[in-house]
Amino acid sequence: MNRMKFRFFLACLVCVFSGVAAQAARSDAGYWTDPAVRKGLYVTASPDAGGRAEIRLGERRYCATGTNCYDLFLCSVKWNADGTVSFDLADSFETLDLLAREGVRIVRFNCGVYYAPELTAYTEHREAYLDALRQIAARAEELKIGLIPSLIWHFLAVPTFFDEPLRSWGESHSRTSRFLEIYTRDVVEALAGYKSIFAWEFGNEMNLQSDLPNWQTEFGRPGLENKLNGRDVRRAFEVFLKTVRRCDPDRRMTMSGNATLRPEQYHLFSEGEWKTDDVRQYAKMTKMFNPGGMSTVTEHVYESGREFADRGEVSLDEQLAVAMETAASLGKAYVVGEFGGVLSSEREYRKFYEAFRDAGVQLSLIWNFSLRGRIEHSFTADSPRGTYLFRLIREYDGKCGEGR
């Protein structure tokens, strides 16, 4: 290829990607400029989709693929030598600025800490903690990036902090349950006024921690009360949902943060056995882990298919078809909260993007961008993987919804 042709080829590439970014920007431009618009994403029955639940932003159907950014807030929490905490938002702001330049429109992040001792960042520095979250939300709004704060990421942190058993998630009078209510209220009231807050999520993959026969080995805590039951998880979701609805006048979309259900999730719950569920049992557990007030069914899809007792091993396409149909039967939208991780090539990532597009998934979020590369299975902007993943986000963001 001679130099002139090469320059023309580069110019075409720039035009293509600029056009994709411009299309994405135009699709939600009215939301950011209309002062009267309802804030955040919401789920409603759509006549155009045969009455099925549909995610919307403002008055328009919303469809996007974005990224997880686990440490967007956590990287700002700085522990001093004397045990106190300060907040430095430089990396948080740099992260958002970079994501905006790369054309990313929506980001899920850990809206909190991880380990039990770190909860003092909130309990002992509440106002500074909430102000840091406000500043992140304000910066995202300036950049027209939607945020999904995921509250209380690690299921062990709060019960451990209060020296309570894991079952306390399901006990309404426990300090764990009370903390969930107070923390949710504080965060939602602090952030509800920002257009950048697109949805609320509670927990991360709590379904994987419930009803495990080997729970004593898994968590090393004696006593039957330390076995986390599926009903305890559901009650925690219900406390979260009730609090969010009370504190958010715009009734934004809500998400569970669940992983893809274990192939044995129903039998673990009902019998304590590693026995594969059928599609009907998968639907029952989907309903249980996404209770009435939850407007979505959320899964983290890292598998290229799964097993059902009545269908055997199915492909990723069939897995998504079952999940989408199950969500629709519950009047909920289906969201892929995480996918990807470290795959071997751009081609392998593209298979997931194609499957989501073909299935009609409206929202999917790749795992995980980290500015400094400190989070497991993350990509950075200056790595070869980061370069093509940002390109894929832009490409498929423009194609999102074509599979409907």
Residue at 7 is within a domain: no
User: Which amino acid appears at position 205 of this protein?
Assistant: E
Q: Please check whether residue 315 lies inside any domain of the structure.
A: yes
Residue 1 lies in a domain: no
For residue 3, tell me if it sits in a domain. Answer: no
| Percentage helix, strand, coil for the chain under 3-state DSSP, each rounded to 5 | 50, 20, 35
Show the domain range for 37.
Answer: 14-399
* pLDDT for position 224: 67
Residue 19 clears pLDDT 70, i.e. is over it = no
What confidence category does residue 221 fall into, taking pLDDT thresholds of 50, 70 and 90? low
Is residue 155 within 8 Å of residue 207, measured between CB atoms?
A: no
Query: What is the spatial distance between Cα 234 and Cα 256, in angstroms, rounded to a whole number?
Result: 10
pLDDT higher than 80, residue 401: no
| Total Cβ atoms within 10 A of residue 315 | 12
For the chain, how many structural domains are there in total?
A: 1
- Asked if residue 50 is part of any domain, the answer here is yes
Is the confidence at residue 26, as pLDDT, over 80?
no
Would you say residue 351 lies in a domain?
Answer: yes
CB contact at 8 A, 62 and 41: yes
Residue 9 lies in a domain: no
For residue 222, what pLDDT is reported? 66
| 404 in any annotated domain | no
Lowest mean pLDDT among 55-64, 131-140, 224-233, 249-258: 224-233
Q: Distance between CA 403 and CA 395 in Å, rounded?
A: 14
pLDDT tens per residue across span 316-370: 999 999 999 999 999 999 999 999 999 999 999 999 999 999 999 999 999 999 9
CATH of the domain at 54: 3.20.20.80
